[in-house]
Chains A and B, each alone.
Chain A
């Protein structure tokens, strides 16, 4: 139980993908102008991160490692992610057109979101510092949980950022600072606030 809480806290707060690891910055800056779109993107990314990890982790550990083709991981992973995203798009379109309307447009953008490839690459590495020593099955479960929680952390920061940018829109910014520069300065303050969580130790 303590491990599960530790993994969730690490993924959401202490090792937040945006504010600490700086993964997934393109959608963070590009799709955070409005809260509604930030939520849509966040949910889509969370979903894809969890599913992608659930698929790539066993493929890497139980197929690629025994076959000694670990070095092809980048090609395999990016292909799996791209196909997953395509499939997910079609499935959502079929099952729930309204959901597709809300987040469908973000799905194609996710293939080139480094948070997704980042988390799949991260969890196949050495995660002892987060998990402690656990069995192979538990490591798989925790990896999927980690990916899901990392997506939640991503969504959290997206929402905070979009809220701040909506407020920022009410003020006049100097011409050179308008757009990306002021968004980055805003992001910097969010990062500083997230530094507080570094002292969490479970």
Chain B
């Protein structure tokens, strides 16, 4: 086939027709894309507008250290935090400052997107938490919770049981410095694991806004302490007594089936447990009382024991033991207690050092 023949052939005509149509369509779409593109800024305004059900909001973020209003044409909207913030049992990915007018006054909110851990089958729940704040002359402080909306979840099969009434209860129950827990009643029966993740996410959002955005420092009494994985550092505390014994009030994070325990542990100067008291038993299940009965007699057996005793009770590296004395049918609860006691003993020197340093 010569070149000339090829140009006259059907094959050539077909190729040209197809190419022409492709070209026209491509150009048309590219031109339209310029007009119709939905920028990231606009997507953000849509998402936030939905949370505030149609209020005309203004959103601010921090760019190069300066607070800027995010425009709808923004390709890359900036958050108030440069990188995701990890807090106890939660991670906050974005915080935006949001303002809108209501009844003639400007309402100030900090909107945090927070993912809480510890849900059903190790899953997570991601929330938008709108925290109201009061901009005083010198300092901005958190005054409450405006709204909580569930954004997404991983593996939470029963999240459908959670209604807006439950989410509203967080705002109603807000008092300064509150720490939401399922034990304090922030749970929906039958969905307690997801409720736990929601509590974690709300707590995380409040902590992140307070510390990372508003710049309030929170003293961590357990700074430099070792083995804090199972210890809720926000709620636990200790006091060094006159006789150089240390009284810990420890809230654990809970472990799998077992919920958070609140324990009072007194460590004597010779680094043994003087008293071990369960203030609040976190052993949960549909048959709570049974599990409590199945527990190892921690309050009597732990007294007078030293660190080696507790590390021997747990598996290597302070892990959950799969055999041994703690394996009683309420192993998770026992493990919580043993871990807390070992933590208290191991960090005895840290407590004393902190007191002498101060």
List residues of A (120-165) whose CB comes within 8 Å of B's CBs. 129
List residues of A (31-80) whose CB comes within 8 Å of B's CBs. 69, 71-72, 75
In the bound complex, CA of A137 to CA of B81 (Å): 29
Min CB distance A20 to B, Å, is 14
Closest B residue, CB atoms, query A69:
B30
Residue A201 lies at the interface, judged by CB distance under 8 Å to chain B: yes
Number of interface residues of B (CB under 8 A): 13
Q: Is the CB of B29 within 8 A of A201?
A: no
Residue B33 lies at the interface, judged by CB distance under 8 Å to chain A: yes
Closest A residue, CB atoms, query B123:
A201
Given A72-B26, A75-B25, A129-B154: A201 and B121 interface contact (C-beta under 8 Å): yes
Closest A residue, CB atoms, query B37:
A71
Q: Is the CB of A198 within 8 A of B157?
A: yes
Q: Is the CB of B29 within 8 A of A72?
A: yes
**CB-CB < 8 A to A69: which residues of B?**
30
| B19-42 interface bits toward A, Cβ cutoff 8 Å, 1 = contact, 0 = none | 000100110011001000000000
Min CB distance A2 to B, Å, is 11
In the bound complex, CA of A14 to CA of B69 (Å): 43
**CB-CB < 8 A to B121: which residues of A?**
201
Residue A199 lies at the interface, judged by CB distance under 8 Å to chain B: yes
**CB-CB < 8 A to B30: which residues of A?**
69
In the bound complex, CA of A71 to CA of B22 (Å): 14
Residue B161 lies at the interface, judged by CB distance under 8 Å to chain A: no
Q: Is the CB of B155 within 8 A of A201?
A: yes
Closest B residue, CB atoms, query A198:
B157
Min CB distance A80 to B, Å, is 13
List residues of A (175-202) whose CB comes within 8 Å of B's CBs. 198-199, 201
Q: Is the CB of B157 within 8 A of A71?
A: no
**CB-CB < 8 A to A75: which residues of B?**
22, 25-26, 29
Closest B residue, CB atoms, query A74:
B29
**CB-CB < 8 A to B157: which residues of A?**
198-199, 201
**CB-CB < 8 A to A72: which residues of B?**
26, 29
Looking at chain B's contact residues, the main secondary structure is helix
Min CB distance B263 to A, Å, is 32
**CB-CB < 8 A to B33: which residues of A?**
71
In the bound complex, CA of A199 to CA of B155 (Å): 9
In the bound complex, CA of A198 to CA of B156 (Å): 11
Min CB distance B256 to A, Å, is 15
Min CB distance B146 to A, Å, is 27
Residue among B29, B121, B123 with most chain A CB within 10 A: B29
Closest B residue, CB atoms, query A70:
B33
In the bound complex, CA of A199 to CA of B120 (Å): 12
**CB-CB < 8 A to B154: which residues of A?**
129
| B100-128 interface bits toward A, Cβ cutoff 8 Å, 1 = contact, 0 = none | 00000000000000000000110100000
| A72-91 interface bits toward B, Cβ cutoff 8 Å, 1 = contact, 0 = none | 10010000000000000000
In the bound complex, CA of A198 to CA of B29 (Å): 40
**CB-CB < 8 A to A201: which residues of B?**
120-121, 123, 155, 157
Min CB distance A199 to B, Å, is 7
In the bound complex, CA of A69 to CA of B22 (Å): 14
In the bound complex, CA of A201 to CA of B157 (Å): 9
List residues of B (140-175) whose CB comes within 8 Å of A's CBs. 152, 154-155, 157
Q: Is the CB of A71 within 8 A of B29?
A: yes
Min CB distance A195 to B, Å, is 12
Min CB distance A13 to B, Å, is 15
**CB-CB < 8 A to A129: which residues of B?**
152, 154
Min CB distance B230 to A, Å, is 23
Closest B residue, CB atoms, query A132:
B154
In the bound complex, CA of A91 to CA of B97 (Å): 59
**CB-CB < 8 A to A198: which residues of B?**
157
In the bound complex, CA of A72 to CA of B29 (Å): 8
**CB-CB < 8 A to B26: which residues of A?**
72, 75
Min CB distance A14 to B, Å, is 11
**CB-CB < 8 A to A71: which residues of B?**
29, 33
Closest A residue, CB atoms, query B153:
A129
Min CB distance A159 to B, Å, is 28
In the bound complex, CA of A199 to CA of B123 (Å): 14
In the bound complex, CA of A99 to CA of B152 (Å): 45
Closest B residue, CB atoms, query A71:
B33
**CB-CB < 8 A to B120: which residues of A?**
201
**CB-CB < 8 A to A199: which residues of B?**
157
* Contact surface of B with A, Cβ cutoff 8 Å: 22, 25-26, 29-30, 33, 120-121, 123, 152, 154-155, 157
Q: List 5 A-B contacts (CB under 8 A).
A: A71-B29, A72-B29, A129-B152, A201-B121, A201-B123
Known: A69-B30, A71-B29, A71-B33. 6 other contacts (CB 8 A): A72-B26, A75-B26, A129-B152, A198-B157, A201-B121, A201-B155
Closest 4 CB pairs of A and B: A201-B121, A71-B33, A201-B155, A129-B154
